[in-house]
A and B are shown apart, each in its own frame.
Chain A
Amino acid sequence: MPSEGIFITGLGILSPLGRGRDATVHSLKNSVSGIRTINLFDEAADQVTPVAPLDFAFEAEDGVPRTHAMALAAARDAMEGLDFAPDAVVIGVTTGGMSKTELLLQAKVVAPEEYAYHGVGTVATYLADRLSCTGPALSLSTACSSGTAALKIAMEMIRHGKAKRVLAGGVDALCRFTYFGFFSLQLLDPKGARPLDRDRAGISLGEGAAMLLLEAAQSPPPHAIARILGSGISCDAYHPTAPHPTGDGARKAMQDAIADAGMQAADIGYINLHGTATRDNDASEAMALKAVFADRMPPLSSTKGMTGHSLGGAGAVECALCSLSIAESILPGNIGCTNPDPSLGIVPLLQPEIRSVQAALSNSFGFGGNNAAVVIGSVNTRPPDRTESHPQSLKITGSSCLTGAGGTEASFQKFLQGVSLAGTFGSEEISKDLQQRQVRRLKRISRMALALAAAAHKDGGGKTMPSSIFFGTGWGPLSETYDFLTKLFESNMKFPSPTDFINSVHNAPAGQVAMEFKSTGANMTASGGDYSFEQALLLASLLAHEGEEVLLFGADEMHRELSPLFDLSAARDTTPSDGGGALMAIATEKPAAGPVLTLRAYGRSQQDAGQTIMNSLNISENINTRYGAVFAGIPLAYEETAKDQLKSFLSHSGFHGTVIDYRKYTGQFATASAVAAVLAVKTMEKGVLPAGLTGDRDVSLEKKGILVMGLGPYYTAMDILN
């Protein structure tokens, strides 16, 4: 991408500092803190700690959760005056519709339509819908680094030529779930967040949304605010919640971001810290900063003493603040800190400073050891020309799956016979080969994740460890979510389980796998309903380096109470089912000997979805010479639409081979496509579609590939070729 840059041409922000550019800059200049002591959730007097809510009104559609409304308000501000739709929407978010869901569950509401906005992935699809975006709507849930990770993904989509204009950001609203969760972890400072202070005692929970419109251009567009120059992500692979004691992962993310921007540490003029004000974060971040900047520490501050910590929103809010810092020459003060902790060895700006800087670094770290850093530069900074490889495909080296029938072999044998794999396999059986110590506090989905990862790794020869992990889940850890809320409500907000809280984040399963494999590269969790596994594949094809070994997997758990409320297809299914699939793979740009997995299409279904999928396959030859079978994903809730789409695809493509509606075998759950991908790999290894599947006779694949399609409100196409 020589001489082209990525510019921030639109910015929407709703934070405790106000709404929009002017209000935010005014608050930064005057060190206005949005942290206040109020009783937000009718908590007991001894549970009240200061929080940072949005104390202004903003537009919200009826029935839409606060997180979604905040996100849309910020998105509309970012797109104001522009008459196009973004090519893609990428959102970092951790709670989704939880602020609404928790009240519904407390009131024992059992109407699934009330929970339509529960899913973490629904924030991105809601924005895409309202902004008429027909490209991918991706949701990242990597805890408190989600917002920053979203900007990284958006950058890579542009660099890979997948999009020209991407709306990216992060959002989270205050809710009981996170408030009482952090309270149970004793991480809320009763005196309000005091980042980097000698007496700091934890975070103040806040809420916020920030959306940035990123545009590729040869020269700065007239309305450009700043440019995004580089980004880095890493995983500690150390502990589910505690940061690495010497900040190794944080250091790597910062160094990668600076190198990615083509800069040296000395080029950074300001750092917006993660600076949550917990004892551990600030100590670990300070160690990492000293390792990167040594005795040339640039001015730095944490803005969380003003904004509070908005979790998935924080990274995007702080990247927006960095953009404004650069555009308006204002470096924010580290409000809340009166006595900088001498043991940290870094001293923040205690007051705001008017100063022009060319480049700023923004840090975000989260549960699961997820670290992300972004470098933002002034509009006139010139990034270096880039020559980089873009691996597009994954050469599969090992695979595994879990279904109601059991593990890989049991599932595959039943599949070949054309027998249903639907159902739920026992949690104890799933983890029977795992160390009891390792799984003692893990519930279903994290056990599934570890079992899938171990089996795929073993199948791949079990020698080297994957450096990056990509995980897709439609609904995340439902058992922990349900148990946390049940104990919370039963104890009148007093005794929820801290273990359930930390394991309830969507990225907990991937974090467990990273710790097991010591995978310190990218660690990404995507959540997008029935297309979550495909989103994870998209992230892998954007982030994995040439030749890098990765683990790609998807899993969902069936929960008796929650699945029928959240997943409309599961609600209609007669056999409650769950499972997942995992692939060990090597990222590759050049065509390699198979099997090779490639994502061919991902977008929002229009009237001509069948034709769109066909076009995106970019086939010059006859489709029947490339594919020996099509595995079609038909979610029960969208059966009619999906079947029409499939019919249209078949008629446009002229494909006349075997078509398998794979959910008829796997049962209905969001990541059924992960199982389908693994079954496709296994079928290709066998080379024959048996009579049990074709319903007629054995059909040789003749070394042809298999196309795995996802249908419904979004369409996806991934193929496995030899």
Chain B
Amino acid sequence: MQETQTEKLQIEKLPVEKLIEELKKKVLDLLNIQDVRPETIDNNAPLVGNELGMDSIDILELVTVIEKDYGVRIDNKELGEKVFASFASLAHYIHDNSTLV
């Protein structure tokens, strides 16, 4: 029983971590940010107001791509503030709500 639970946890954990990596690459590529490497980005740092130099327009661009690529819609500011708090929160939200991942 315990074994199965551990296994389940790992299966759930892996996609989120993979998703974080994928999202970092996607963001840098989509927003044409050339001077930051994905591995240096802190998973828990906010997307806006850090070394990425992103603003509200970039977030909206990201909203479009996340809906297109993962089928997850983030269509209001309150939800957006929660989801885009960090790459980790973004990945978890997509993971929990996506119909495509």
Q: Chain A: residues with CB nearer than 8 A to chain B?
A: 184-186, 239-242, 279, 436-437, 440-441, 491, 494-499, 502
Count B-side interface residues using an 8 Å CB cutoff: 20
Give Cα A240–Cα B61 distance, bound, in whole angstroms: 15
> Are B57 and A241 neighbours in the complex by a CB distance under 8 Å?
yes
Cβ of B39 < 8 Å from any Cβ of A?
no
> Are B61 and A497 neighbours in the complex by a CB distance under 8 Å?
yes
Give Cα A441–Cα B32 distance, bound, in whole angstroms: 7
Measured between beta carbons, the chain A residues less than 8 angstroms from B85 are: none
> Are B57 and A437 neighbours in the complex by a CB distance under 8 Å?
no
> Are A185 and B60 neighbours in the complex by a CB distance under 8 Å?
yes
> Are A440 and B33 neighbours in the complex by a CB distance under 8 Å?
yes
Residue from the set A240, A496, A499 with the largest chain B CB neighbour count within 10 Å: A499
Measured between beta carbons, the chain A residues less than 8 angstroms from B68 are: 491, 494-495
Which listed residue (A242, A279, A498) contacts B61, Cβ 8 A?
A498
Measured between beta carbons, the chain A residues less than 8 angstroms from B44 are: none
Measured between beta carbons, the chain B residues less than 8 angstroms from A494 are: 67-68
Cβ of B49 < 8 Å from any Cβ of A?
no
Measured between beta carbons, the chain B residues less than 8 angstroms from A185 are: 60
> Are B61 and A440 neighbours in the complex by a CB distance under 8 Å?
no
Measured between beta carbons, the chain B residues less than 8 angstroms from A496 are: 64
Measured between beta carbons, the chain B residues less than 8 angstroms from A497 are: 61, 64
Q: Chain B: residues with CB nearer than 8 A to chain A?
A: 31-35, 53, 55-58, 60-61, 63-65, 67-68, 75-77
Give Cα A499–Cα B30 distance, bound, in whole angstroms: 11
Can you list the 7 inter-chain pairs with the closest CB atoms, starting with the nearest? A440-B32, A498-B60, A495-B68, A499-B61, A495-B64, A436-B34, A437-B53
| A442: min CB distance to chain B, Å | 9
Which listed residue (B57, B63, B76) contacts A240, Cβ 8 A?
B57
> Are B67 and A502 neighbours in the complex by a CB distance under 8 Å?
no
Measured between beta carbons, the chain A residues less than 8 angstroms from B75 are: 186
Measured between beta carbons, the chain A residues less than 8 angstroms from B35 are: 436-437
Chain B minimum-CB-distance residue to A279? B77
Measured between beta carbons, the chain B residues less than 8 angstroms from A240 are: 57
Measured between beta carbons, the chain B residues less than 8 angstroms from A498 are: 57, 60-61, 64
> Are A441 and B64 neighbours in the complex by a CB distance under 8 Å?
no
| A504: min CB distance to chain B, Å | 13
Give Cα A440–Cα B33 distance, bound, in whole angstroms: 7
Known contacts A495-B67, A496-B64; is A186 also within 8 Å of B53 by CB?
no
Measured between beta carbons, the chain A residues less than 8 angstroms from B58 are: 441, 499
Give Cα A279–Cα B80 distance, bound, in whole angstroms: 15
Chain B minimum-CB-distance residue to A438? B53
Chain A minimum-CB-distance residue to B52? A437
Give Cα A124–Cα B77 distance, bound, in whole angstroms: 39
Measured between beta carbons, the chain B residues less than 8 angstroms from A495 are: 64-65, 67-68
| A111: min CB distance to chain B, Å | 32
| B46: min CB distance to chain A, Å | 18
Known contacts A436-B35, A437-B53, A440-B32; is A186 also within 8 Å of B77 by CB?
yes
Measured between beta carbons, the chain A residues less than 8 angstroms from B57 are: 240-241, 441, 498-499, 502
Give Cα A119–Cα B71 distance, bound, in whole angstroms: 37
Measured between beta carbons, the chain A residues less than 8 angstroms from B34 are: 436, 440
Chain B minimum-CB-distance residue to A502? B57
Which listed residue (B32, B33, B60, B65) contacts A186, Cβ 8 A?
B60
Not counting A494-B68, A495-B67, a sample of 20 additional A-B residue pairs whose C-beta atoms are within 8 angstroms of each other reads A184-B64, A186-B60, A186-B63, A186-B76, A239-B55, A242-B56, A436-B34, A437-B53, A440-B31, A440-B34, A441-B31, A441-B57, A494-B67, A495-B64, A496-B64, A497-B61, A498-B57, A498-B64, A499-B57, A502-B57
| B11: min CB distance to chain A, Å | 31
| B29: min CB distance to chain A, Å | 11
Chain B minimum-CB-distance residue to A499? B61
| A692: min CB distance to chain B, Å | 41
Measured between beta carbons, the chain A residues less than 8 angstroms from B67 are: 494-495
| A490: min CB distance to chain B, Å | 10
| B4: min CB distance to chain A, Å | 40
| B98: min CB distance to chain A, Å | 16
Chain B minimum-CB-distance residue to A498? B60
Chain B minimum-CB-distance residue to A439? B32
> Are B60 and A184 neighbours in the complex by a CB distance under 8 Å?
yes
Enumerate 22 A-B pairs (CB-CB under 8 Å) in ascending A order: A186-B60, A186-B63, A239-B55, A240-B57, A241-B57, A436-B34, A437-B33, A440-B32, A440-B33, A440-B34, A441-B31, A441-B57, A441-B58, A491-B68, A494-B67, A495-B65, A497-B61, A498-B61, A498-B64, A499-B58, A499-B60, A499-B61
Give Cα A404–Cα B67 distance, bound, in whole angstroms: 40
Give Cα A576–Cα B68 distance, bound, in whole angstroms: 35
Give Cα A241–Cα B60 distance, bound, in whole angstroms: 13
Measured between beta carbons, the chain B residues less than 8 angstroms from A436 are: 34-35
| B12: min CB distance to chain A, Å | 29
| B79: min CB distance to chain A, Å | 11
Give Cα A240–Cα B57 distance, bound, in whole angstroms: 9
